[in-house]
Amino acid sequence: MAPLTGGAASIGQEQMNFARLAAEDFNSANGSSYTLVESDTQLDAGQASTQASSIVSDSAILGVVGPAGSQEVSAVGPAFADAGIAYVSASATNSDLTNGDNPGFFRVIPTDAAQGPTVGGFITDEIGASNVVILQEKTDYGVGLSQSVADALEASGASVEVIAVPEEKKSYDDIVSKIGDDVEVVFVTFQIAAKSEQVAQSLIKADKNAVVFGSDGSFSADFKTPGSYVAAFAPDVTQVPAAADVAGRFSEQYGEFGTFGPPVYVATQSIMQAAQAACEAGSLDRAGVLTEMSNVVITDSILGGDIEFTETGDVDGARFYIFMVDEAGSPQLVQ
């Protein structure tokens, strides 16, 4: 389940291609023949809910990789819980998703409970900012993350103003015009990077000095204003020795990629590992896969560490990374 079309299609296609590669590699290594079914959510909760109904009705589907967005996870949760199907997201970070309301949900990336303190600490300690505006997009993802970052900033003594903006908003010039000249950082919680770029360019046009700091949803080539910052829930895997083979083969077959795709490789591995274990136990069905998910262990994953799930479905030991956009518009790791 990924946004294969729409504003986040570049991310969705990257995720789909990493899922394809993971399936090919797993089948080759295990003599299995698992196949993928594509489900286009367009990063929209309503669309994800509709797609969930189709998935549940297809009894051949043993588990789900995705969906991508936190609001989508909330939307599909009831249907997947009723069906007893395991689903593993590679990019949904809202902390509340693993509070028990979404049985069967797992993720291979850290939560906003980790992103908030990481971002807040970097803004105050490394950038040295004391006056921050947060643009809170009114989605499950945006609301939860903005609160986490605001709490961390306020705990460090920074002045914080939270401005709520609707998800469907097309321009941010009116918002930028209200941002004071003494604001040093504007943290944005968009899931489409082009929106973050709009804000950055609008600040420049308005001759404002504030830099834009994008959340993990902004890690894309569409967010390219030099001097901006962006958080990421995965490392640059081209720098991870365990990922060298996978990264090289992906680049040869599909081209360049960012941080949204590699976690999908691991999410796909985890579902297939659980399915294989269920098969060996004589219960290759949804219930069997869901049971085996708690036993999944991916040693030395392409994300740079072992993958094991906690009782809540989160992954042990995951952390956020901070990148700065260089003069060429490319993100460079700084923390």
pLDDT digits (tens, 9 = 90+) for 136-184: 999 999 999 999 999 999 999 999 999 999 999 999 999 999 999 999 9
Burial of 31 (0-12, 13-18, 19+ CB in 10 A): exposed
Average pLDDT (205-211) is 97
pLDDT the model gives residue 288: 98
Q: 187 pairs with which residues across the strands? A: 134, 213
Query: Does an H or E element contain 191, and which?
Result: none
In this predicted structure, what is the pLDDT of residue 32?
Answer: 96
The pLDDT of residue 137:
97
Q: Which pLDDT score is estimated for 317?
A: 85
Please, is 241 exposed, middle or buried when counting C-beta atoms within 10 Å of its C-beta (0-12, 13-18, 19+)? exposed
Average predicted confidence (pLDDT) for the chain? 96
**pTM of the full predicted structure?**
0.90
pLDDT in tens, 87-107: 999 999 999 999 999 999 999
Q: Which residues contact 331 (CB under 8 A, 6 or more apart)?
A: 219, 230, 232, 323, 324, 325
CATH of domain 113-232: 3.40.50.2300
Q: Quick check: 318 pLDDT over 90? A: no
- Please give the average per-residue pLDDT across 257-276, as a whole number: 97
CA distances from 85 to 79, 105, 109, 282, 283 (A): 9, 9, 20, 17, 14
Domains 9-110+239-308 and 113-232 share a fold: yes
- Inter-residue contact 257 to 285 (CB < 8 Å): no
In a 10 Å sphere around its CB, with 0-12 CB exposed, 13-18 middle and 19+ buried, how is residue 167 labelled? middle
Q: Give which of 218, 269, 238, 226 is closest to 91, Cα–Cα.
A: 218
Cα–Cα distance, 72 to 69 (Å, whole number): 5
Q: Which CATH architecture has domain 9-110+239-308?
A: 3-Layer(aba) Sandwich (3.40)
Over the stretch 54-83, which tens digit does the pLDDT of each residue have?
Answer: 999 999 999 999 999 999 999 999 999 999
Classify residue 161 by burial, with Cβ atoms within 10 Å: 0-12, 13-18, 19+: middle
CB 136 within 8 A of CB 149: no
Q: Could you report how far apart the first and last alpha carbons of the chain are, in Å?
A: 30
Sequence ranges of the domains in the chain: 9-110+239-308, 113-232
